[in-house]
Chains A and B, each alone.
Chain A
Amino acid sequence: MRDIEETGRTVEEALEVALERLNVTAEEVEVEVITEGNRGFMGIFGGAPAKIRVMIKENPMDKALAFLEKVIDSLAIEAEVVAAKDDRGIKIEIEGQNVGMLIGRRGQALDAWRYLTNIIANKGVRERERIRLDIAGYRARRVAMLEDLAKRTAKRVRERRRPVRLEQMSPADRRIIHITLQNEADLETVSEGREPYRQVVVSPKGELRYGNRK
C-alpha cells in the first residue's frame, strides 16, 4: 500500500494536493487526519497547518480484476476471471463462453485489453506490476505456435546460411521469437520496420547485412 503525508491550510486543501501527487481520485484512497488545520486568529496569528495521511486502497491485482469483471458484465458474457501472482508479475485468465470477442482477429483485441488493463491496474501505484492476460488459452496456444515457428526458422537459417525474415507481428509476439532464440549462440534476432509492420529477422551471427540494425 502506498501512502503519503501532505499538509495544507485545511484538510480539503491538503487532500487536493495529495490526490494530485498520487494521480488518483478521492474514491481510490483512505484519508487519515493527523492534525486538523487551525486558521488562527483572523487567519494571521497562530495558524497551524492541517496534516493528513493518504493511502491508496487497492492493489493492481484488485483493480485489474474489478475492471475486467465490469467489462464482462457489460458485454453480458458468461465468463470467469482468475488471477494469480507469480515471480513474473500477475497472470490473469478469462475462461467462458463467447469470449472470442475479447480476443479479436489474430488476438488484436486481447493485446489491447492487456495494454489497457496494465494502465488501469497500475494507475497511481508506485510499484508497477506487469500483468499478463490470457483468454480461453489463446495466448498459451499462440506462444507454443510461435516457439515452434522460432525453432523451425532457426533450422532454416542454419541450413541456408542466410537471414530469414518473418511476417509482421505484434510486440508481444516478436518478444516470444527473441526470447526463444536468445540462447542460440550462432544466431541473432532483430526487429526491423515500423509498427505495426515490424518483423523479426533471424540471421547467422556475424553476418553483415543492410538495413537498420539494432
Chain B
Amino acid sequence: MQELLEIIAKALVNNPDVVTVNKVEEDSTLLLELKVAPEDMGKVIGRQGRIARAIRTVVRSASARDNRRVLIEIMENV
C-alpha cells in the first residue's frame, strides 16, 4: 500500500523527488504518512479535498483484504 500511495502521489505532483510515504503500523490500523513539497499540497488534496478523497478510496479498496483500517495523512515535506 505504501508503494501504491507513492505511485499515485508521484504521478500527481510537480516534484516527485520530494514525495515520501512513511508507514506506521499498529495492531488494527495502518497509518500512511504522505509527504509532498509544500507547493504540491494542492495537487494531492484538490478542490474541497476531492483528490485526497479519491486517493483514500482507491487505497482503502486495494487494502480491503487485510482487515486493518488504513489512514492516510498528508503533510508538507520540509
Contact of B14 among A23, A71, A112 (CB under 8 A): A23
Residue positions of B touching A, CB distance < 8 A: 3-4, 7-8, 11-12, 14-16, 50-51, 53-55, 57-58, 61-62, 64-65
Inter-chain contacts of B8 with A (CB < 8 A): 71, 116
Residue positions of A touching B, CB distance < 8 A: 23-25, 67, 70-71, 74-75, 101-105, 108-109, 111-113, 115-116, 119-120, 123
Inter-chain contacts of A23 with B (CB < 8 A): 14
Q: Contact: A109 with B58, CB < 8 Å?
A: yes
Q: Nearest chain B CB to A134's CB is how many angstroms away?
A: 16
Contact flag A112-B3 (CB < 8 Å), given A23-B14, A101-B64, A101-B65: no
Main secondary structure of the interface of A (DSSP, over half): helix
Contact of A104 among B12, B15, B57 (CB under 8 A): B57
Q: Contact: B4 with A75, CB < 8 Å?
A: yes
Q: Nearest chain B CB to A160's CB is how many angstroms away?
A: 37
Contact of B57 among A70, A109, A120 (CB under 8 A): A109
Q: Contact: B62 with A112, CB < 8 Å?
A: no
Q: Contact: A112 with B57, CB < 8 Å?
A: yes
Q: Contact: A109 with B3, CB < 8 Å?
A: no
Q: Contact: B12 with A120, CB < 8 Å?
A: yes
Inter-chain contacts of B54 with A (CB < 8 A): 112-113, 115-116
Q: Contact: B15 with A113, CB < 8 Å?
A: no
Rounded to whole angstroms, the CA-CA distance of A71 and B7 in the bound complex is 7
Q: Nearest chain B CB to A57's CB is how many angstroms away?
A: 15
Q: Contact: B3 with A74, CB < 8 Å?
A: yes
Rounded to whole angstroms, the CA-CA distance of A170 and B74 in the bound complex is 25
